[in-house]
Structure 1
Amino acid sequence: MGQYPPAHNAGGEIATHAMLRALVARGHDVSVWLARYGSAARPYEVDGVRVVPFETQADFDTALRRSHAVLGQYELVPATRALANGYGKPLIVPVHTSRPPTLRNLVAGTTALAVHNSQWVSREAEALLAEQPDATRPNASIVVRPPVVAAEYATTPGDRVTLVNPCHEKGGTVVRELARRMPDTAFMVVAGAYGEQVDYTGLNNVSVVGHTAGAAAMRDRVYARSRIVLMPSTYESWGRVAVEAMASGIPVIASPTPGLRECLGDAGTFADPRDIDAWETALRRLEKPAAWKAASSRALARSAELDPTDDLEAFVSAVEALH
């Protein structure tokens, strides 16, 4: 992998770590070998997963020879596939997005197990295969929704309207305009792991929180201070932040991307990110106690529906079945 928690905490890396953690819980030895230089000077461990920095990989060849399977994601899939083929190991590819480069990498060669993060991303992959009959179909495919253990995030909601990762793609400018229009509403933005962050200078009703890593920190520093979470993203293949928020019954207003619609179901309030009036209307409605209470109940119900136990069991079983 290119980067890994706790140094890098984007949704794809967090989801993959949750799946690897499930393998550790089953008794498997799991190690992550980083493909880029980073800040760590020596191997470290996260929830039983051993992480090996790029500069300390003298025994990488031995680890590959002893492995049962190899996992690669994003831009590292081609290189990881070449290694898997060279050592005769099955390749696992987590598919965190429907974007063309990711799907093309998935079907550009042999994949033993494709792990899609949503039903709609799985359908997008199937559509690509239908359009390209010469593409290589994965030997097996499953859907594992980005695992969120609700008990790790659940807390008592606070009073802020929150956006996590205020970059342009995540709707940072939408929240800036809402804060300008609603000076009596307290907003909070949490610095993201990537993307150019929108500047909120001059808006006294916006508090900016630094990048926050890990379930406990997100629970205590973010969700315990949040009453409503906003996700005005131009693209989301799922929406992990929404699931984390719903663990505490925090209502979510989101863009109607296919991923967010599947993720939130009936618990979500949806608005087009190009329509600021719609976002303001939805937000003002949820500021009313009765509307917030009803939305909070739907969020808690959806959180229970998204319990990751069955998905993680399916993943572990699928990996163990590889040969």
Structure 2
Amino acid sequence: MIHSGLLICSFFVKERYGRDDSKVINLNNEIHIEQVGNEETYNSIWKLFSDFFNNHLDLSDDESSMKLFSIARDSIKEFDTDSYHCASFIINSGSYGIEGKLTNRTTKEVKYNRTREDADVKQFHALIYIPKDADGIKVQKGILLFQSIGTFGVKTITTKQIKDYFAQKGLTFETRSVSISVFLKRILEENRIKKVTLLKNCTSIDSSDNMLISTGREEKVYYSPKFKESFIQRIIDFVDGKKDDTIFEINDNLYEDISISFNLSGRTRTAKLKDIDRFSLVEDIPDSIYNNGNTNYDDIIRHMIGTAESYKEKMVFRIAE
């Protein structure tokens, strides 16, 4: 059976040449963009997303990643409530560059010889979710959800296309993890960890070596570890922004980073703690909804909105106070 999942991340937008988070944009407010000889005003971020959709209805060729990309016509649906606004859409995307034979599994007959110019274009559901401002809080972060099918996904190609489009408007589009501390605590407590690797640069005891070169990198690996509650809390505190470097001090040794490999959606994924803020979560779509590819559009969109709602409760929606 082919399984499907939801890759979940957060996003924010800031002025392209802003050097700090003070340039982050309030997503539900009017946006003013000043460029050389031109000034544009948008009533909210949704007008920019609408323009992005309309500019990508035809298949485009991203030669750097060897992928085709487009937004399926008539697939865009918007939902507006008192607490959020979101837009669902379908992405057409597929890779080319590999030759192959499309073979009937029953008859073993070759139906088509695939050339390097042929792209296997599939359809993936996606959702952009932004909460409404409430209790005096101006929302600066939204949630992105991308469907994955088996080993195929569209997060990288889609966010690249969005970034390129926003850059033309003088804006920077950034993605980050969403509620990563909640996720990490769950996989740590459920013993899903397959491997933990402690990383540090190794220096020579010869002082003349230390003036010129590093002598390599030391890795210490623990397989199927079980953590003490106190160490789990140190990790959670670290990813929650309490950047205490003592998390990397273990048995009187100071490590540069910690790499964690764990089971997720039937696959092994690896993340380094210092880069964990850029890690994207993947949640399984229940087989009752995906049903081996027999998907009802309304059912999967309801599931995606419900997933975004559940993560909304665990997020802080401002970058800078």
Greater percentage in strand: 2
Taking structure 1 as the reference length, the TM-score comes to 0.22
Greater percentage in helix: 1
Taking structure 2 as the reference length, the TM-score comes to 0.22
